[in-house]
Amino acid sequence: MQEWIQLFIDGLTIGGVYAVIALGYTLVYGVLRMINFAHGELFMMGGFTGYYTLTTFENHSNLNDQVPVATIAVAILLGVIVSVTLAVLMERIAYRPLRHAPRLAPLISAIGVSILLRNVMLRVTDAQGKVYPTVFPRTTLEFGQVHVLYVQIFLIGLSVLFLALLYLFIERTTAGTAIRAVAEDRDTAALMGINVDRTIVTTFVAGAALAGAAGVVYGMYVTTVTSGMGFIPGIKAFTAAVLGGIGSVPGAMVGGYFLGVSESLTTKFIGAQYKDVVAFVLLVGVLIFRPWGIFGKREDKRA
Q: Amino acid letter at 288?
A: I
The residue-averaged pLDDT of 205-210 equals: 95
Looking at residue 303, what is its pLDDT? Answer: 39
Highest mean pLDDT among 78-87, 146-155, 245-254, 272-281: 78-87
Q: Count the alpha carbons within 13 Å of 249 in the hemisphere toward its beta carbon.
A: 20
Q: Which of these, 300, 218, 185, 198, lies nearest to 18 by C-alpha position?
A: 218
Split at pLDDT 50, 70, 90, the class of 218 is very high
- pLDDT at position 144: 76
C-alpha 181/C-alpha 203 separation (Å) is: 12
CA distance 249 to 241: 9
HEC string for 92-142: HHHHHHHCCCCCHHHHHHHHHHHHHHHHHHHHHCCCCCEECCCCCCCCEEE
Q: Is residue 184 pLDDT above 50, yes or no?
A: yes
The Cα–Cα gap between 293 and 287 comes to 8
Q: pLDDT per residue over 85-144, tens digit each?
A: 999 999 999 999 998 888 889 999 999 999 999 999 999 998 889 999 888 877 777 777
Contact predicate 30/284, CB 8 Å: no
Q: What is the dihedral of CA 65, 69, 75, 77, to 10 degrees?
A: 180
Q: What is the pLDDT of residue 300?
A: 55
What pLDDT score does 78 carry?
97
> What integer pLDDT is reported at residue 231 of this predicted model?
92
- Between helix 231-244 and helix 2-32 the angle, nearest 10°, is 80
pLDDT tier at 299, thresholds 50, 70, 90: low
Q: Is the pLDDT of residue 53 over 90?
A: yes
What pLDDT score does 225 carry?
94
Q: How far is CA 59 from CA 9, 64, 147, in A?
A: 34, 11, 31
Give per-residue pLDDT as tens, 270-290.
Answer: 888 888 888 888 888 888 888
**Residue 62 contacts by C-beta under 8 Å, 6 or more apart in sequence?**
none
Asked whether the predicted pLDDT for residue 6 surpasses 80, the reply is yes
Res. 241 pLDDT band, cuts 50 70 90: very high
Percent of the chain with pLDDT over 70: 95
Q: Whole-angstrom Cα distance, residue 277 to residue 263?
A: 9
Residue 223 has pLDDT above 60, yes or no: yes
Neighbours of 160 (CB within 10 A): 16
Average pLDDT in the chain: 88
Phi, psi of 216 (to 5 degrees): -65, -50
**E strand or H helix at 46, and its extent?**
helix 39-59
pLDDT confidence band for 302 (50 / 70 / 90): very low
Confidence (pLDDT) at 62: 58
